[in-house]
Structure 1
Amino acid sequence: MINFGIIGPGNIANRFADSLQNFSQANLYAVAARNIDKARVFQAKHPSNKVFGSYQELLQDPNIDIVYIALPHQLHFQWSMAALDAGKAVISEKPAALNREQLKKIIDKAKRKNLFYTEAMKSHFQKAYQELKKMVTAGEIGKVKTVQTSFCRSMPEEQATYHYQPLVGGCLLDMGIYNAAFIESFVKKPLKIESLEYKVIENKVEVYVNAALKNDSQKVILESAFDRNKANLATIIGDKGRIEVPNLHRPDSFTLIKDNKSKNFVFPYEKDDFHAEIKETIDCLQKNRLESRSMPVQDSLNSIEIIDELKQAIAEKKNRFTYFKSLIASKIDVELPPVK
């Protein structure tokens, strides 16, 4: 029996716990919250052996094999590291960390501790996604030339929490990470920014990004937003056809368009959209694998690197614009520094 501990009993943890009940070889052993009453409310919905009023208490329990971290983005690094230090395997909600530097430290620690670690990027575990990768790898649409991704939804600030907070918020870490995870599966590194459209609010949090990136032979589009609704769609364009993937963050189907014909492929979820990632995690633990075949740690690194580059570019462009405005205000004629 594999004993799971959940840190952060929020909405997504409820869905994870529901799915966990489908596995006879897994047990929800404990849940931890900053307030033990909140943990008890969660336990009433999802029976567990224990509840804790602090995350560290849960990590100190020797009976827990793996910790599912379902905290706000800014806490993923701290508690992934703490869980690994406590000798626990980790499955962390996306984004696995706020940037590549943090994620590299997590991965290095997991390797030193000889512990399983993976990012809960649900899309990568789904049957539709894996069949899609096989089809593209087999050359069904020829050489991949373009990958277009759009994941936008209206999320007003009054209805959000950490999503609008400086440094940890923004549409790129919350939604754009799905775009980046999709993109990195089908294009070669490195990618360089070709064009960048964005919208930031007063506290410097980005609420819309539409970026074009390219390498020597491929181009990608990453569009992500909190301030508008658009079709949730990814399109992979090759020199012999294209594939359209609705719901890129939770794919269960795709359409192949080739030779003026289209063919739909449907792969329903097994139980729910968490089932595949839990199944893979349990399999890895039972077979002593240190990383997932569906979501290897290098995929997570590749994804966060794309987000890092876009965030840096937005910061540089915004700072450059602020500098330019200050020069106009002071009427000083100074050459602007080049954008890197």
Structure 2
Amino acid sequence: MIRIGVYGLGKISHRVIQGILYANNADLYAVCSSSLEKANAFKKEYSAEKAYDDYEQMLHDQNLDMIYICTPNYLHAKHIQMALKNFKHVICEKPMCVSSKELDECFDYAKKQNCFLMEAHKTVFTPLNQKLFEMISNGEIGQVKSIDAQYATRLTESISEWHFNQAGAGCMFDIGVYPICYANRMANSKIKQVFRLKDEALIEYENGCVAHIATSWDVSMENTSHIYGTKGSITCKNFWKNIVALINENRMIVSQKSDFTGEIEHACACVEKGLIESPVMSRMASLEILKVIGV
């Protein structure tokens, strides 16, 4: 059982913690916020063992195995390296880093410290998307030729100021990574070239597949993915978290308690196997995402 501490108790942390609680190989050990009152409230609500208001203090806890980082994007690299310095395994909310240089530095340091490091992309690890990837790999819709994936949401007052004026700001970093990650995974090929215009991109892969991804804070979209193969197609609305997809117009449903559990179970399984990098969400997978963003 991998004992996890969650650092950064914002809105997303509630869903992350639910994912940890449902995981069969993880234990919610600690929570940490700059406010001890908030940390204690989370500790009580989710039955964590420890609550901290100091990150360094939590990192010095010898009973802690892994940190799940939920802080703002521009702080990720700093907080990753602090955890690795204390020999803690790390899973970090997307985007893990705001540049390819930063990402390479983090993975190099993880290797030096012999610690596991992974970017948290639940999109890859939901039960539905794992099943779809398996079907595609088995050739059930033939050779994938085209992917279209979009995710847009109107801005709300709850969005933080750093989304606009810090490194890692902007719509592409915030929600654009979902269609990018999804397309990269389902294409299952290295990127050959990217054509990007503001918050859209056309991606050509080495295996011949072409993907169009789009995101926006300003307009509404269907938020649907379409995968077209030589023998059929797959359609899924809200593809980053859904449990239902249409396979050649046939409805497929999977069960899911939390859309975050899959990534957490995968990361913990990697640690239990002694791996320092995920074979699925690897350094290269994270670099390919940043390649589309253009950093």
Shared fold per TM-score greater than 0.5: yes
Structure-1 residue corresponding to 2:184: 184
Larger RCO (CA within 8 A; separation ≥ 6): 2
Contact 2:151 2:175 in 1 (8 A): yes
Counterpart Cα distance in 1 of 2:11 and 2:258: 15
Amino acid at match of 1:243: I
**Residue 270 of structure 2 corresponds to residue 284 of structure 1:** yes
Contact 1:100 1:308 in 2 (8 A): no
Q: 1:219 to 1:286 in 2, by over 3 A?
A: closer
**CA deviation after TM superposition for structure 1 residue 25, in Å:** 5.2
State the secondary structure of the residue aligned to 1:175: helix
| Structure 2: unaligned runs, 5 residues or longer | none
Structure 1 segment 1-340 matched on structure 2, within 5 A: 1-23=1-23, 26-156=26-156, 158-161=157-160, 162-185=162-185, 186=187, 188-194=189-195, 196=197, 198=198, 209-215=199-205, 217-257=208-248, 262-269=249-256, 271-308=257-294
Which is greater in Rg?
1
Counterpart Cα distance in 2 of 1:187 and 1:29: 35
Contact 1:3 1:28 in 2 (8 A): yes
Amino acid at match of 1:295: M
Contact 2:267 2:278 in 1 (8 A): yes
Residue by residue over 1:92-113, the C-alpha shift from the partner in whole angstroms, topping out at 9 and shown as x without a partner, is 1111111221111111111221
Counterpart Cα distance in 2 of 1:100 and 1:75: 15
TM-score (norm. length: structure 2): 0.90
| Structure 1: unaligned runs, 5 residues or longer | 199-208, 310-340
TM-score (norm. length: structure 1): 0.79
State the secondary structure of the residue aligned to 2:180: helix
State the secondary structure of the residue aligned to 2:215: strand
What value does the CA root-mean-square deviation take over the aligned residues? 2.1
State the secondary structure of the residue aligned to 1:159: coil
**CA deviation after TM superposition for structure 1 residue 256, in Å:** 2.0
Amino acid at match of 1:22: Y
State the secondary structure of the residue aligned to 1:57: helix
Q: 1:26 to 1:239 in 2, by over 3 A?
A: closer
